[in-house]
Amino acid sequence: MIHDRSDGDKIYLTHEFLATMLGARRPGVTTALQMLEYRGLVRAKRGEVTIIDRVGLMVLTHGAYGEEEQRYFGLATAA
């Protein structure tokens, strides 16, 4: 979702800040980013995450990404 609101593929956030945003522990964020790097979806380094394969990240969510994002962009219809 941050990538949706950013220019370019680089997101400048620390693991600590991501953990705070997600309500998770920093080591868990580090492990998750390492797993995403292994799959070739992102590249992470100190204070920076680069999105390599956005479509791959979306597929990995198994449909969890999309509905709220469409609301943000005004694409969803009222039910």
pLDDT mean by block of 10 residues, the chain; 79 residues:
74 90 93 95 92 88 71 57
**CATH 2.70.240.10, domain 3-72, yes or no:** no
Cα Rg for the chain, rounded, in angstroms? 14
Please list the alpha-helical segments (H only) found in 23-53.
26-38
Q: What is the pLDDT of residue 4?
A: 67
Q: What is the pLDDT of residue 16?
A: 93
pLDDT of residue 20: 94
Sign of CA dihedral 35, 40, 3, 57: negative
Q: pLDDT value at position 6?
A: 72
Residue identified by tokens 């469409």 is: 70
Quick check: pTM over 0.75?
A: no
72: which residues sit within 8 A by CB, 6+ positions away? 1, 4
pLDDT value of position 43: 94
Phi, psi of 15 (to 5 degrees): -60, -35
**pLDDT at position 57:** 87
Provide the token pair at 51. 């999105």
